[in-house]
A and B are shown apart, each in its own frame.
Chain A
Amino acid sequence: MKHWPVLFVILLGMCAVLAIVLFGNEPPNGHGVEHPDLPAIQQGGTPDRHADLMWLGGLYGVLQIAFFTLSLMPGLRPGGRGRNAFLFVGFLCIVAFLSVLISYQHYADAEPLQFILGFPPSTALMLFVLWPIPVLCVVLYTTKFNEWVLNADDRRRFEKLLTQRTEDAQE
């Protein structure tokens, strides 16, 4: 299985991103500041605070989605039927995530602020595109279970295994 070394490289990439983040200089509003007038509410300010982080954040997000997608693969039957379908879902997730980033970069410039289904465009992309896309994995799992995850032959092999184990235990 070649994808374990790939997973390892992705993990090293995520470690590197986290190290850069954790040992970098965080702006004062890097993860929010208290509201000047209202207790228990935080403000983030403007998207400028992410200007230096956009590439790093983008890389972190893409690496995560790649990691999640590859983590699905070992659950498939040996032979990897269905792998391309899950890879395609992962690809769609990455495209949706990058769309959120690109849309967010234009967020501050939009005048007047646009709203799609009640939210700014970048937020709407996150809520109504990026969030639901992995539901395709659920659909694939449900509809293709008997072919890609556990087929009738596997069940027969397991029954035989179970019988063998019971006989061994009795002996």
Chain B
Amino acid sequence: MEAYRNGIILFCVCTYMVACIAIGLWAMRRTKSTHDFFMAGRNLGVVITGVAMFSSIMSGFGFVGGPGFVYRMGLSSFWILAATPMGLSIAFMLLAKRLRLLGELRNCVSLPDVAEARYRSRTVRFLVALAILFGVVGYLAAQIKAMAVVLQDIFARNELPGGDSLEICVAISCAVLVFYCVTGGIIASVYTDLFQGLVMVIAAVLIFVTASQTVPGGFTEMSQTIAADDPEAASPWGSLGMIACLSWYFVFCLGAVGQPHVVTKLMMSRRVEDARFTLPVTLLGYTLSALLWISIGYLMRTLVLQGVHTPLEKADEAAAQFLQAYANPVLAGLVFAGLFAAIMSTADGFLNIGAAALVHDIPKALSGRTPKNELMLARVATLLLAVGASVFALLSPIGLVGQLGAFGWGVFASTLVPAVAFGLNWKRATPFAAGVSISVSILINVAVVAFQLTGHRIPYGVAGGAVALIVSLTCFVGISLASKPPVIDRDVEAVMDL
């Protein structure tokens, strides 16, 4: 039975990867220019943009880390999910219209392009590109390592050659990812995101139904068991406590506004007015896929407390152990494919924006122009970024990779929310304020990682990203208010007036 289950899981994962490669080959024929490679020819419809956005937000962190959080801390991490409706609303209100219109008007292919158009400053372009690159390397390494660890487990269970080598698993998972990203660019990325998003939603809904029926009394019995062991775990704050939960609420709400691999997709839609329907599609997809996060951790904590399941050694094993012990083999296979989907749909977005930063934004910031054979260089940069992040992931200890993942999220949120999201909506925002807020946020995020790696804990579990975000926002708004209003190009100002 065990061999049969493992065989089905392996089959589902292999089928999924073959499908990704096929989509990459199909997208290659549609990718003829840099504009296609980075912006999908600005021709994406409502559903594909919406699904690509939510599947980029829901990474391996959500499918593995989410259930692990609930298992370990009770309901604390629900605040991350609860932040999404407001966060996405702010993202669409501040960015959907202005990013799309400015992108078309100035032919922008990246957020640093938009930042230079807005601030008339190559320094701001450089700093935004640098922040993106910082975040991309950290986050990408975390995604690649997560993917390789899961693949290694599947190989080992099926006693396949390579099951004992993390390097081989990194190479295989990275090769699939790089293949479709290099060949098809963002077109392959968003169409695989569509496929990946659908796999994630189906898997999450089926898991929620299975999990809620595993304990006879459903969620009431689960809550009773958890509250009897620890009343706080079933409270709205979980074991982590009120201040930490609220700091997560803040950083994940505004964080949704500052994720470059997510908001860049707003520039790719066919028509600006499509945003009105893209928002509900994104929110619905995210909420449905979050059902997996909610249900597995809560159920596994209950089963362990009831003595039905052996205690887990690591909280992140919650999802895998649930699938092995309680899910139908086909459903388990689908969820494992969904897990790869969650990781790859985030990683491909990072590869794309990272390549844009390397071959388009940084050269343009330094020399004022882009290289001649940009499309070819973009493909090479995608490959180099993936290889670099893989080597980084292999050489780094697991704790460091996890910290860098959090660092990436914190950097994105605290640099891009003030400078790009607020800057596009406030004529008084100055390039100096944007530069200071980006620099301050990178410094604080680096300091927080160093602080935690040396064994220190932030009081009350406050998220380091929340501190960086609040300070960088305060610097940005305060400096802009205290400065003279900057000069803005007439066409950019006209877009800001719409």
Contact = CB atoms under 8 A, between A and B. Distances in A.
A130 to B, nearest CB: 7
Given A12-B474, A18-B462, A22-B458, A131 B105 contact: no
Contacts of A7: 477
Interface of A: 1, 4-5, 7-8, 11-12, 14-15, 18, 21-24, 26, 30-33, 35, 38-47, 49-50, 53-54, 56-57, 60-61, 64, 68, 71-72, 74-78, 93, 100, 104, 107-108, 113, 115, 117-120, 122-123, 125-127, 130-132, 134-135, 137-138, 141-142, 145-146, 149-150, 154-155, 157-158, 161-162, 164-165
Given A138-B280, A158-B495, A115 B241 contact: no
Given A32-B239, A40-B72, A40-B313, A24 B246 contact: no
B250 A64 contact: yes
A32 B73 contact: yes
Given A30-B461, A118-B223, A120-B235, A61 B481 contact: no
Given A32-B240, A138-B280, A149-B97, 9 more contacts: A8-B478, A11-B473, A24-B459, A32-B241, A35-B230, A71-B90, A71-B93, A104-B235, A125-B236
A42 B240 contact: yes
Interface stretch (B24-32, B33-41, B270-278, B334-342): B270-278
A170 B61 CA distance: 48
A4 B459 contact: no
A76 B250 CA distance: 22
A131 B242 contact: no
22 contacts: A11-B477, A14-B250, A15-B470, A18-B470, A21-B459, A39-B313, A40-B71, A42-B73, A45-B232, A46-B231, A46-B232, A50-B242, A71-B93, A71-B94, A72-B89, A74-B93, A104-B236, A126-B78, A137-B85, A137-B86, A141-B89, A165-B491
Name B's interface SS.
helix
Contact of B462 (A21, A35, A56, A117): A21
Contacts of B478: 8, 11
Contacts of A45: 230-232
B236 A118 contact: no
Interface stretch (B145-153, B194-202, B214-222, B260-268): B214-222
A88 B132 CA distance: 36
Interface residues of B, number: 88
Nearest to A11: B474
A9 B81 CA distance: 27
B85 A132 contact: yes
Given A38-B311, A42-B73, A150-B498, A126 B241 contact: no
Contacts of A108: 231
Interface in B248-264: 249-250, 253-254
A113 B227 contact: yes
Contacts of B428: 4
Nearest to A118: B219
A76 B93 contact: yes
B425 A75 contact: yes
Contacts of A165: 105, 491
A109 B94 CA distance: 44
Nearest to A45: B232
B471 interface: yes
Given A47-B235, A61-B246, A118 B218 contact: yes
Interface in B277-319: 277, 279-280, 283, 301, 304-305, 311-315
A15 B236 CA distance: 24
Contacts of B81: 131
Given A4-B477, A118-B222, A31 B240 contact: yes
Contacts of B283: 135, 138
Contact of B237 (A4, A50, A131): A50
Interface in B446-462: 458-462
A164 to B, nearest CB: 8
B99 to A, nearest CB: 11
B219 A119 contact: yes
B279 A142 contact: yes
A23, A146, A165 — most chain B CB neighbours (10 Å): A165
Nearest to A120: B234
B241 A44 contact: yes
B467 interface: yes
Given A72-B93, A123-B236, A126-B82, A142 B280 contact: yes
